[in-house]
Amino acid sequence: MKSENNLLEEIVSLSKRKGFVFQSSEIYGGLNGFFDYGPLGVELRKNIKDAWWEDMVRRRDDVIGLDSSIIMNPKIWKASGHIDGFTDPMVDCKESKMRYRADQLFAAEVLVDGESLGWVSLLESENMQSVAQEQAENKKRKESKQGELQDLILKPYDELTDNEQLLVPSPATGKVGSLTPPREFNMMFETHVGALRDGSSKCYLRPETAQGIFANFKNIVDTGRVKVPFGIAQIGKAFRNEITPRNFIFRSREFEQMEIEYFIPPGESEWQRHHQEWINVRKSWFSSIGLTKDCLGEEVHPQNKLAHYARACTDITYKFPFGEHELEGIAARGNFDLTQHQEHSGKSLEYFDENLKEKYLPHVIEPSLGVDRTFLAVLCSAFSVDEIDGEKRTVLRFHPRVAPIKAGIFPLVKNKPELVEVAKKLYERLQRKWNVVYDQSGAIGRRYRRIDESGVPFGITVDFESLEGDGSFTVRDRDSTEQVRMSEEELLLHMDERINP
Binding footprint of RNA on the chain (CB under 7 A): 1, 5, 8-9, 12-13, 16-17, 23, 27, 29-33, 85-86, 88, 90, 92, 97-101, 104, 187, 207-208, 240, 242-248, 251, 307, 322, 388-389, 391-394, 412-415, 441-446, 448-450, 453, 459, 461, 463-465, 474, 476, 481-483
CA atoms within 13 A on the CB side of 444: 16
Query: Which CB, 167 or 413, lies closer to RNA?
Result: 413
Q: Which is nearer to RNA, 12 or 112 (CB)?
A: 12
Residue 417 CB, nearest approach to RNA (Å): 11
Report which of 424, 501, 420, 498 is spatially closest to residue 464, judged by C-alpha positions.
420
Q: Mapped to the 3 state alphabet, what secondary structure does 161-174 carry?
A: CHHHHHHCECCCCC
At its nearest, how many Å lie between RNA and the CB of residue 76? 14
Helix, strand and coil in the chain, % to nearest 5: 35, 30, 35
Of 207 and 231, CB closest to RNA: 207
Task: Supply the minimum distance, in Å, between the C-beta of residue 103 and RNA.
Answer: 8
* Distance separating alpha carbons of residues 412 and 444, to the nearest angstrom: 6
Least distance from RNA to the Cβ atom of residue 85, Å: 5
**Exposed/middle/buried for 322, CB within 10 Å: 0-12, 13-18, 19+?**
middle
Do residues 259 and 209 make contact, with C-beta atoms less than 8 angstroms apart? yes
Q: How far is the CB of 54 from RNA (least distance, A)?
A: 26
Closer residue to RNA in complex, CB, 178/461: 461
DSSP bridge pairs for 311: none
Helices 2-18, 444-454: axis angle to 10 degrees equals: 110
Residue 245 preceded by cis peptide, ω within 30 = no
Q: How far is the CB of 117 from RNA (least distance, A)?
A: 28
By beta-carbon proximity to RNA, the closer residue of 345 and 440 is 440
Closest CB to RNA among residues 20, 52: 20
Query: Is residue 469 exposed (0-12), middle (13-18) or buried (19+ Cβ within 10 Å)?
Result: exposed
**Do 314 and 299 meet the contact criterion of CB atoms below 8 Å apart?**
yes
Residues 275 and 242: beta-carbon distance below 8 Å: no
Q: Are 143 and 149 in contact (CB under 8 A)?
A: no
Shortest Å distance, C-beta 23 to RNA: 6
CA angle 19–376–47, rounded 5-degree value: 70
Three-state SS for 396?
strand
For residue 55, how many C-alpha atoms fall within 13 Å in the half-sphere facing its CB? Answer: 19
Identify which of residues 136 and 376 has a Cβ nearer to RNA in the complex: 376
Closer to RNA at the Cβ: 17 or 78?
17
Q: How far is the CB of 193 from RNA (least distance, A)?
A: 23
CB of 206 to RNA, least distance (A): 10
The residue among 2 and 59 lying less far from RNA, judged by its C-beta, is: 2
Residues 6 or more apart whose Cβ sits within 8 Å of residue 330: 275, 278, 279, 282, 313, 314, 315, 316, 365, 366, 367, 368
CB-nearer residue toward RNA: 326 or 353: 326
Contact 52, 38 (CB under 8 A): no
CA 13 → CA 20, 69, 366, 397, distances in Å? 10, 34, 35, 17
Nearer to RNA, 54 or 477 (CB): 477
Say if residues 20 and 379 touch (Cβ distance below 8 Å): yes
CB of residue 464 to RNA, shortest distance in Å? 4
Rounded Cα distance, 174 and 260, in Å: 47
Minimum distance of RNA from residue 101's CB (angstroms):
5
Pick between residue 150 and residue 435 the one whose CB is nearest to RNA.
435
